[in-house]
Amino acid sequence: MSLRYGLLGLLKYSPMTGYDLKKIFEDSVNYFWSAKTSQIYRELQTLEKNKCVQSNIEISKAGPNRRVYTITPLGIKLLKEWLTNMPEETDEDNRNEFLMRVFLSSNIGGNELLRLLEARLKKYQSDIKRLDATAQAIPKYKEKFDVDKELLYWKISVSRGYHDVQSHIQWAEESIQYLKELGFK
């Protein structure tokens, strides 16, 4: 569901192609949602079937033709309905393969887990850099889409990204230290 409404939400800023949407997902929403190109194109097709968006082919002399999607009034209506009708239990999706590995680490031992955690710590540190890039992209979209009140909500979302990464780093560092104190290396 979220992908569906994410696409509608972005199309509300401006008409776009599937390719554009994929790029925005990559460099702005990416820390809490991602989607493969193939899924985006398919979802756009079903959205068009449901009359939530409408597409027009834009013939360009320079480069391949582009199918540009525009949100319809119905699309806007359904987007707002989704946003206002929030179910009691919208779980943040906790599925975490890495934690499954940690949980089962008795099978590989503390030394091995230590190495896993150290590698993971590096990943978390690079996550911060990706978030910085995202935060810096916000003003760019401000110009591109000529939005203003949106910025507040984008900032609150990005801030959640930072809180998350920072807590991951803290946990990894603590756990590494703990394992070392126990004599693992």
Partner DNA sequence: GGAGACATGTAAGTGGTTACATGATTCC
Partner DNA sequence: GGAATCATGTAACCACTTACATGTCTCC
Contact assessment for residue 169 and residue 163, using Cβ atoms and an 8 Å cutoff: no
Q: What binding mask, one character per residue, do residues 87-126 give for a copy of itself by CB under 8 A, x or -? A: ---xxxxxxxxxxxxxxxxxxx-x-xx--x--x-------
- Name residue 57's beta-bridge partners: 67
Residue that has been written with the tokens 């110009």 in this structure: 143
133 binds a copy of itself (CB under 8 A): no
Question: Is the CB of 18 or the CB of 75 nearer to DNA?
Answer: 18
Specify the residue, 67 or 110, whose C-beta has the smaller distance to a copy of itself.
110
Longest CA pairwise span in the chain (Å):
67
* 3-state SS record for 116-166: HHHHHHHHHHHHHHHHHHHHHHHHHHHHHHCCCCHHHHHHHHHHHHHHHHH
| 53 close to 43: Cβ distance less than 8 angstroms | no
Q: Which of 67, 130 has the CB closer to DNA? A: 67
Name which of 53 and 114 has its Cβ closer to DNA: 53
Interface residues with DNA (CB under 7 A) are 1-4, 17-20, 23, 34-39, 41-42, 45, 60-68, 95
> Could you tell me the smallest distance in angstroms from the CB atom of residue 41 to DNA?
5
Written as six digits, the tokens of 116 are 């896993």
In angstroms, the CA 71 to CA 2 distance is: 16
Q: Which is nearer to DNA, 12 or 67 (CB)?
A: 67
Which residues of this chain interact with a copy of itself, rule CB under 8 A?
Answer: 1-2, 5-6, 9, 12, 29, 31-34, 79-80, 83-84, 86, 90-108, 110, 112-113, 116, 119, 147, 149-150, 152-154, 156-157, 159-160, 163-164, 166-168, 170-171, 174-175, 178-179, 182
